């Protein structure tokens, strides 16, 4: 373990050490004189959480924390959102005060719809979460509007819980057509063409329209039944750098959702906005987002198409 732990420490020095350090010099000689500014390092991946794992994880964790306290070590809590490995992984994280853990789960669209409150009750004083692997899976594993919008709904809930869930990444990411061992993947490619999936466009829209500040919102529906409420998702965030206000609206219903939006707390006059809509039949695997320019007032009505994800980026809200 001493030799293995040294490898981990050398890896960090290779990434972040100056050009006069042993491994920083090797990085510079390899053509990258500037440090990579590594911030995170994951220890473990869907491991069986045993006494031996705990012993060895603790040795690595303590060594990294001692030499590189600025590095966030990410622990592991198994391959599911429940079960023995999940429970015992969290027990280790709590005992050692691991700053972040890596959660994984692949579930049906229905699970994502009905578990949007998954992180609402997390203890805010404990380890933060990197949702390192997740995706909505249907029988046959298609990438389509149904799975993409289930993920979009869930991502609005992750933004609401951004104080706990610091990062999230769909998995797997890349696959060459005809040479895959897992499905679905986010982006397919062959020797000449890159083929993003519908699910990719959801990830792209959330990535391009992230914010630093989340604003709580209220959704009032004419039909207040649980099955309707859970299929409408809303997230309002502010991009600190551009001062843009970003409104994300998900409609996973088979009918148009007529919405009245009240933004009088944030804007006092008409503003220009970029409106991006991803929509289609639930089985549609070829849908792409369409972008238009619109004007929005502090209070306005908007129709959310059936099976759609709408992003409004409102400019000059400072």
The length of the chain, given as a count of residues: 318
Q: Look at the block and give the residue holding tokens 């039944």.
A: 225
CA separation for the pair 288, 277 (Å, rounded): 8
Annotation says 315 is catalytic: no
CA separation for the pair 302, 292 (Å, rounded): 14
CA separation for the pair 233, 219 (Å, rounded): 9
Q: Look at the block and give the residue holding tokens 């600025």.
A: 70
Q: 214, 159 in Cβ contact below 8 A?
A: yes
Chain Cα centroid distance, residue 261: 26
Specify the pairing of strand 232-239 against strand 213-215.
antiparallel
CA separation for the pair 28, 20 (Å, rounded): 9
Question: Catalytic pick from 29, 34, 46, 315?
Answer: 46
Active site (catalytic) residues: 46
């Amino acid at each position: 373990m001493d030799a293995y732990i040294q490898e981990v420490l050398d890896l960090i020095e290779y990434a972040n050490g100056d050009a006069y350090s042993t491994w920083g010099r090797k990085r510079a000689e390899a053509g990258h004189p500037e440090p990579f500014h590594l911030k995170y390092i994951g220890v473990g991946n869907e491991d069986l959480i045993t006494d031996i794992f705990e012993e060895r994880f603790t040795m690595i964790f303590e060594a990294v924390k001692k030499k590189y306290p600025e590095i966030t070590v990410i622990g592991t809590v198994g391959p599911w959102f429940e079960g023995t490995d999940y429970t015992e992984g969290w027990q280790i994280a709590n005992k050692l005060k691991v700053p972040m853990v890596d959660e994984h789960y692949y579930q049906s669209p229905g699970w994502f719809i009905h578990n949007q409150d998954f992180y609402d009750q997390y203890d805010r004083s404990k380890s933060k979460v990197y949702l390192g692997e997740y995706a909505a899976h249907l029988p046959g594993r298609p990438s389509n509007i149904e799975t993409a919008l289930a993920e979009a709904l869930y991502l609005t809930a992750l933004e609401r819980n951004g104080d706990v869930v610091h990062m999230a990444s769909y998995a797997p990411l890349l696959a060459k057509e005809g040479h895959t061992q897992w499905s679905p993947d986010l982006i397919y490619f062959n020797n000449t063409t890159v083929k993003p999936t519908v699910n990719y466009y959801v990830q792209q829209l959330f990535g391009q329209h992230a914010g630093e500040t989340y604003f709580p919102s209220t959704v009032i529906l004419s039909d207040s039944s649980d099955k309707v409420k859970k299929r409408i998702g809303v997230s309002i965030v502010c991009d600190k750098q551009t001062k843009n206000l970003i409104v994300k609206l998900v409609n996973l219903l088979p009918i148009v959702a007529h919405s009245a939006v009240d933004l009088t707390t944030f804007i006092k006059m008409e503003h220009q906005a970029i409106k991006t809509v991803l929509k289609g039949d639930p089985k549609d695997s070829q849908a792409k987002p369409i972008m238009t320019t619109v004007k929005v007032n502090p209070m306005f009505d908007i129709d959310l198409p059936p099976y759609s994800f709408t992003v409004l980026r409102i400019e000059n809200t400072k």
